[in-house]
Amino acid sequence: MTDDTFRCDLSIRFDPWGHADDDELEVLVPLPADDGRQTVRDLRAPEGTDISDAHGHRRMIRLKRGETVEVSARMETRRLRPGDHLDLPPPGPVDRAPGLMTTPDAALRALADESLRGVEGQGARIAALAQAAAGALRYRYPKDARGAALSLARGWGDCGEYAFVFVALCHVAGIPARPVFGMIVAPWFRTPHAWAEAWDGAGWCPVDPNLVREGGYLGPLLETGRAPEAHIGALDPYRVVLSRHTGIPWPGAPSTRSGSVPSITLAVEGLGPVTFWHEAPLWNGSPVVPYLQLPWPMIRHPSRATPLNLLRRQRAWRFRVGAPSRLLPRNPLVWTDLLVLHPLKGLAVVMMAPLVASAVPPLAPALEIVVWAWRLLFPVGMLRYLLLLRLRSAGWLRLEAALGLASPRTGGKFTERTG
């Protein structure tokens, strides 16, 4: 194994029964597939009907009451460096046409035109649009609605909204592009994530507009560069792709939500209000789900919000990373960031250390060193974390704009929007 590859056992567990009171559920499950950057071995998943197309590999399964979805695979992923491309087919119609949540409005068209003024070459155009998307938003999780036009108007969104804005800008410019949904599976940094892919004329290259903006903090955690350019046409080795595009076809009859549903309802650009996991609304005449990152069940009989069900809902979806080829980042300076990302684990060690030292006196000196190291390094990590908070703070951005200070950025040249 080289420094550019990462291996792990990935397992995903999905339990919908805190939300559903059905006797049986149809569930659409995204599955990882080979794409020239990730290799999938020993894939195990419940039996069902397989579907493979431009959106990726997925399986429609049926769960009886109480059964859970268990997916596992041995994953090998590699780093993509500038100039590398994914081993995927050239663009098709779905890669060129505006989709759900990526349809440009007048503001997106104006931003694309402004960003590409005087820019020549497909690679340079993609980079300019990535910079524009990065400067258009600050990070904030949307709980009410999703879509590129809405997020641009609000000036904020999560990783998915960064990808939607970038894809919409590419479509304005005639560049084939699509959002990508998956996970970051580094043992020290695990989270669902979304980014994008764009066609540069020679192949598909990855673009992560979220990290174009926040790579100064997040880049070293993923063992990539801090500069925005490190996240345009390149990708760290810790990504697992589950699906591509929005508007994933639902392989069944359209379904609408039933009565009062105690779940997440979002306004999805192109569809209107959608209650996640309870309906497959029509888009262009066919039933779809907005995007596929978590399994999508079709719940027709919502469960009651009992204490047990509420607890079960908190653990509906989990994924684990086992037997990783690397446990920690190579750069020890990044370890201070891990203390901030996992504060409860560090506090637990500090609180348990005196008890363990009393029970096993020979360990006391080593435990004291660990406690003092945590006390010294945690504040350092918090100071570094302020770099990320600065980029995400609307008040901070407005203050710097009012004072005429340089806008916070990660070393790139994107234009900050503070309105």
Nearest to 267 by CA among 379, 366, 372, 153: 153
Topology of 1-328 in CATH? C8orf32 fold (3.10.620)
What pTM was estimated for this model as a whole? Answer: 0.91
CA 160, 165, 171, 176 torsion-angle sign: negative
Residues 73 and 42 sit within 8 Å (Cβ to Cβ): yes
For strands 282-283 and 286-289, give the pairing.
antiparallel
Extended strands (E) in 233-294 = 239-244, 248-249, 265-268, 272-275, 282-283, 286-289
Distance CA 15, CA 381 (A): 35
Q: What pLDDT digit, counting tens, does each position of 214-232 carry?
A: 999 999 999 999 999 999 9
Q: What is the CA radius of gyration of the chain?
A: 22
Rounded (5°) CA angle 116-120-125:
50
Domain ranges (residues) in the chain: 1-328, 332-403
- Residue ranges in the chain modelled with pLDDT below 50: 407-412, 418-419
Average pLDDT of the chain, as a whole number: 90
**pLDDT confidence of residue 397:** 67
**pLDDT confidence of residue 263:** 62
Distance CA 2, CA 397 (A): 41
Strand partners, 64: 24
**pLDDT confidence of residue 17:** 95
**pLDDT confidence of residue 410:** 38
Residues 255 and 300 sit within 8 Å (Cβ to Cβ): yes
Contacts of 133 (CB under 8 A, 6+ apart): 162, 165, 166, 169, 209, 212
Distance CA 304, CA 286 (A): 31
